[in-house]
Structure 1
Amino acid sequence: MTDTPFSTRRRQAMFKTILVPTDGSHLSDKAINTAIEFAKFSSGRIIALSVAEPYPFSPMAESTMATDPGTYEENMLALAKLNVQKVADAARNAGVPCEMLTAQAFNPDEEIISAAEKYHCDAIFMASHGRSGLSRLFLGSKTQRVLAHSTIPVLVLR
């Protein structure tokens, strides 16, 4: 099948740099697979990001600390690296260029927005855990905050 002028033009207009934040969950896999498929079609590239949240230190609970904060943060960063490596492996298998990023922050949504700006991303493909009701109210939604603050398109997968 040869490209028509329309399909060539359409491929050039697609998102070329797609940010894929991942937490390693099954839902994130949907966003990863969709982003890679889209990037492959549009000859784009993937920026994979996993944000490790620092130890939730509370001065009130200092005497009841069960985990060493340094060990906790090392483990979370190692997990973040595994998460982005999973994206990079899938992208490589599909022939899509991928850059891996890890960060540590209390507010992953801010890191996602920052990475999208820094790497000049055209879109963000991310998963939503689909919380509703009180759990959404109390836990907040990282996806919702990205949607509220992003200046580029965000594709949310459930």
Structure 2
Amino acid sequence: MDMKFEPTYRISFLFRRILVPVDGSESSLRALDIALDFAQRYGSRVTVLHVHAPGEDPKPIENAIRKRIEGRGLNVTIKTREYKPHASSIASEILSEVVEGGYDLIVLGARGSTANEDLMIGSVALSIVVNSATSVMVVR
């Protein structure tokens, strides 16, 4: 059942443009699901961003993103950015995209591909929460 809602609610005007950084982790894909729900219910425009290391093939994660979006009838933009280890970081590339894209909300997973299961929030998510001037929703 594909429901389309006209943007008539107050939230429609607060969160028109949503950025979802995705690293392929289940947490980041859950964040994408939430952003897609916002888009369906409130007419938000969703942009999915995958920041990858030099030489890393972004196609597998792009395919996972497309699979998650498939069949929802939404127009979602997928972007990739490559960070330079000596000049930038994943977090700085995400923050650059936020500024350049004029987003109203960032929806991201609390922990990405961090190996340490004891961490409640990963370093990238923490950096985004602390340094972004845009509202951030952290998905656990």
The CA distance in 1 between the partners of 2:75 and 2:131, in whole Å, is: 27
Alignment of 1:2-151 (within 5 A): 8-10=8-10, 12-54=12-54, 73=55, 76=56, 78=57, 80-105=58-83, 106=85, 107-129=89-111, 141-151=123-133
The CA distance in 1 between the partners of 2:106 and 2:28, in whole Å, is: 12
The CA distance in 2 between the partners of 1:84 and 1:155, in whole Å, is: 22
The question of whether the paired residues in 2 share the 8 Å contact of 1:48 and 1:88 is answered with no
Aligned length: 126
Q: Which amino acid aligns with 1:16?
A: R
Structure 2, unmatched stretches of 5+, are none
The CA distance in 2 between the partners of 1:39 and 1:115, in whole Å, is: 19
The CA distance in 1 between the partners of 2:49 and 2:12, in whole Å, is: 25
TM-score, normalised to structure 1, is 0.69
Task: Name the % identity.
Answer: 27
Against the structure 1 CA distance between its residues 33 and 9, is the aligned structure 2 distance closer, same or farther, given a 3 Å change threshold?
Answer: closer
- 1:60 maps to what in 2? none
The question of whether the paired residues in 2 share the 8 Å contact of 1:48 and 1:84 is answered with no
Q: Which amino acid aligns with 1:153?
A: S
Q: Which amino acid aligns with 1:149?
A: N
Against the structure 1 CA distance between its residues 128 and 101, is the aligned structure 2 distance closer, same or farther, given a 3 Å change threshold?
Answer: same
Structure with more helix by fraction: 1
Kindly state the Cα deviation for residue 89 of structure 1 after the two structures are TM-superposed: 4.2
Q: Deviations over 1:23-54 (max 9, x none)?
A: 10111111010110011111111111111123
TM-score, normalised to structure 2, is 0.77
CA RMSD of aligned residues (A): 2.5
Q: Deviations over 1:64-105 (max 9, x none)?
A: xxxxxxxxx1xx1x2x23323433443352222111111111
Against the structure 1 CA distance between its residues 45 and 91, is the aligned structure 2 distance closer, same or farther, given a 3 Å change threshold?
Answer: farther
The question of whether the paired residues in 1 share the 8 Å contact of 2:8 and 2:42 is answered with no
Q: Which runs of 4+ in 1 moved over 4 A?
A: none
The question of whether the paired residues in 1 share the 8 Å contact of 2:12 and 2:44 is answered with no
